[in-house]
């Protein structure tokens, strides 16, 4: 099985290396940029507010980066199989769930690079900046949260990408149906908020996408 | 002799347009089995059912003694497959594709792979997407042969290739069979090609099996007879009447299957006489079989 994994990992690296390299550079740079110019030791309370604002605005890039990495890595994992109509994969001598697991794991192993880059970039950022009194740095927590967000995004998009065009069509049809129902409900003045309900279910804890919501702060009180 | 592939009463349907119905097939182990049929006759669908890529509605498929699709991983470890269309990733090089494939097959023969790379004059650093059609076909054959399977399933592997490449591929296949005693199941509509290499042949049309027999029996048993003095009704003959036409007042021209010289006496017992027995090659026999089948089935 280790030979198979190595072979799958190699192909996946070849297909997605540009995504991994760009994602790793971005993941390394964002924490450093977020505290750029931060904080000499003599800064007072007002400067602490400036720093928090800067960290918060840069922080919105972490979930975006995690989502983009998950999306593009998942697409890269399946694109060649889709092009070959899955015939090569389906005629390999292993159970299909094992093949899917190999592809999934290989993608996540490659995503370890940007996750490590966040950890390293965050740690370097807090080491090179002098934080105003009262503020604390959370590089490990940020790295763990980013890893979790990348995992969730990759898993969701991997599952969607693995499906056929018909599956994607069904998903789009369900979303379109929800929009239509919402539009008709609004026109009929019905008290129905499907998207609010969906947002609550998905984004608020313990929703599956809650990790993306809220503030992503490298430095906080 | 056991069967490398054994299919019993297989039924598969794609929408309302096409179905394979009551298919029985027996591919003897160690044979080179030609699977003939016109385009759209169901050859590729049958192959996909054999490999577990499609699930039948009913019936039983046994490959190398194991049920398909229940044991597909175990079976596919012993089966080399070359599909009709190149299915490999176009962004990988020849060498990368060989290495990828090698990782999945425990019996992978690295020496054979190297030998075939040299024999087929493939450049290891060339991307699959940049290979010519002939080179792609050769690489796919290489991958199927180097995994040292007991069964090779080849779906029109030489279709559209020039005669030199076709000959190279067929020669590699014949060498493989003679060395390993493996079974080859090869589908094609190129009748002459199969005639040269196969020892068993089946003919399919419109999702039905028309005939399955040893190649020699089909080749030598299909004849055109020029017969005179034939009554209108000829009862139940010991041969298969594929077609019957009057021949410009000079009696009748019959195309028959399963013919043996001793059957002349049956025709003579009807008060008729056989004036000429003409050998048909496989292609003529194939065409007559199809004509006869289509004449009998309303949907063909």
Q: How far is A23 from chain B (nearest CA, A)?
A: 22
Final residue belonging to a domain, choices B214, B245, B265: B214
Which pLDDT does position A38 carry in this prediction? 60
Partner residues linked to A61 by β-bridges: none
Same domain (yes/no): B12, B125: yes
Q: Which helix (H) or strand (E) holds B63?
A: strand B58-63
The confidence band for A111, taking pLDDT boundaries of 50, 70 and 90, is: very high
B239's tokens: 């041969």
CA nearest neighbour of A61 among A39, A32, A89:
A32
**Can you tell me the ipTM of this complex?**
0.78
Residue-level pLDDT at B248: 67
Which of B52, B79, B89 shows the shortest C-beta gap to A84? B89
Point out the domain boundary residue: B189, B214, B239: B214
Q: Which domain holds residue A43?
A: 2-164+216-220
Q: Are residues B94 and B141 in the same domain?
A: yes
The structural domain count of chain A equals: 1
Q: Do A83 and B89 touch (CB under 8 A)?
A: yes
B52 lies in the same domain as B104 = yes
A66 part of a folded domain: yes
pLDDT at A40 over 60: no
- pLDDT exceeds 60 at position A59: yes
Query: What pLDDT is attached to residue A55?
Result: 86
pLDDT at B292 over 80: no
Within a domain: residue A91? yes
pLDDT reported for residue B300: 42
Report yes or no: B73 at the A interface, CB cutoff 8 Å: yes
SS3 B89: coil
CB contact A2 to B (< 8 Å) = no
pLDDT value of position A4 = 93
pLDDT at A124: 92
**In terms of residue numbers, what domain contains B155?**
3-214
* pLDDT band of A129, cuts 50, 70, 90: confident
The verdict on a CB contact (< 8 Å) between B88 and A4 is no
Q: How many domains would you assign to chain B?
A: 2
Q: Return the minimum-mean-pLDDT range out of A2-6, A24-28, B30-34, B252-256.
A: B252-256
**Pair (B18, B156) in one structural domain:** yes
Both B44 and B180 in one domain: the answer is yes
Nearest CA to CA, how far is B198 from chain A (Å)? 25
Strand order in the sheet with B223-228: B240-246, B252-257, B223-228, B273-279
pLDDT for B65-85, tens place per residue?
A: 999 988 899 999 999 999 988
pLDDT digits (tens, 9 = 90+) for B42-55: 899 999 999 999 99
- Chain B's closest residue to A12, CA to CA, is B92
């Amino acid at each position: 099985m280790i030979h198979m994994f190595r072979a799958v990992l190699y192909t996946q690296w070849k297909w997605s290396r540009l995504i991994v390299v760009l994602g790793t550079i971005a993941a390394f740079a964002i924490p450093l940029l977020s505290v750029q110019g931060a904080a000499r030791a003599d800064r007072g309370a007002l400067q602490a507010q400036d720093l928090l604002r800067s960290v918060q605005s840069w922080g919105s890039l972490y979930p975006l980066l995690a989502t983009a990495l998950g999306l593009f890595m998942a697409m890269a994992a399946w694109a060649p199989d889709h092009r070959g109509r899955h015939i090569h994969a389906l005629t390999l001598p292993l159970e299909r769930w094992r093949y899917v697991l190999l592809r999934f794991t290989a993608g996540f192993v490659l995503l370890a690079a940007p996750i490590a880059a966040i950890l390293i970039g965050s740690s370097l950022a807090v080491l090179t900046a002098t934080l105003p009194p009262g503020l604390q740095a959370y590089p490990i927590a940020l790295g763990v949260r980013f890893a979790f967000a990348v995992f969730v995004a990759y898993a969701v998009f991997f599952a969607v990408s693995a499906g056929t065009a018909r599956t994607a069509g069904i998903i789009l049809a369900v979303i379109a149906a929800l929009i239509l129902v919402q539009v008709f409900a609004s026109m009929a003045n019905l008290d129905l908020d499907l998207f609010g309900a969906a947002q609550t279910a998905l984004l608020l804890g313990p929703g599956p996408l809650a990790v993306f919501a809220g503030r992503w702060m490298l430095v906080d009180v | 002799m056991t069967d490398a592939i054994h299919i019993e009463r297989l039924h598969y349907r794609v929408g309302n347009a096409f179905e394979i119905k009551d298919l029985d097939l027996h591919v003897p182990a160690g044979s080179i089995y030609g699977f003939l049929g016109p385009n759209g006759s169901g050859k590729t669908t049958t192959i996909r059912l054999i490999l577990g890529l499609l699930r039948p509605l009913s019936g039983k498929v046994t490959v190398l003694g194991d049920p398909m699709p229940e044991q597909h991983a175990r079976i596919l470890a012993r089966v080399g497959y070359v599909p009709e269309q190149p299915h490999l990733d176009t962004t990988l090089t020849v060498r990368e594709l060989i290495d990828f494939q090698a990782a999945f097959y425990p019996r992978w023969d690295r020496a054979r792979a190297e030998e075939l790379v040299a024999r087929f004059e493939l450049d290891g650093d060339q991307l699959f997407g940049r290979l010519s059609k002939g080179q792609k076909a050769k690489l796919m054959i290489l991958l199927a042969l180097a995994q040292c399977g007991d069964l090779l399933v080849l779906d029109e592997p030489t279709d559209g290739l020039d005669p030199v490449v076709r000959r190279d591929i067929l020669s590699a296949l014949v060498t493989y069979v003679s060395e390993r005693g493996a079974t080859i199941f090869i589908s094609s509509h190129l009748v002459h090609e199969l005639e040269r290499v196969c020892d068993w042949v089946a003919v399919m049309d419109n999702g039905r099996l028309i005939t399955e027999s040893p190649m020699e029996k089909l080749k030598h048993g299909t004849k055109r007879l020029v017969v005179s003095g034939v009554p209108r009704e000829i009862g139940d003959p010991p041969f298969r009447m594929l077609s019957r036409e009057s021949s410009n007042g000079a009696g009748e021209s019959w195309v028959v299957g399963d013919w043996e010289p001793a059957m002349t006496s049956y025709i003579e017992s009807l008060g008729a006489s056989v004036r000429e027995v003409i050998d048909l090659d496989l292609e003529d026999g194939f065409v007559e079989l199809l004509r006869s089948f289509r004449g009998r089935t309303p949907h063909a």
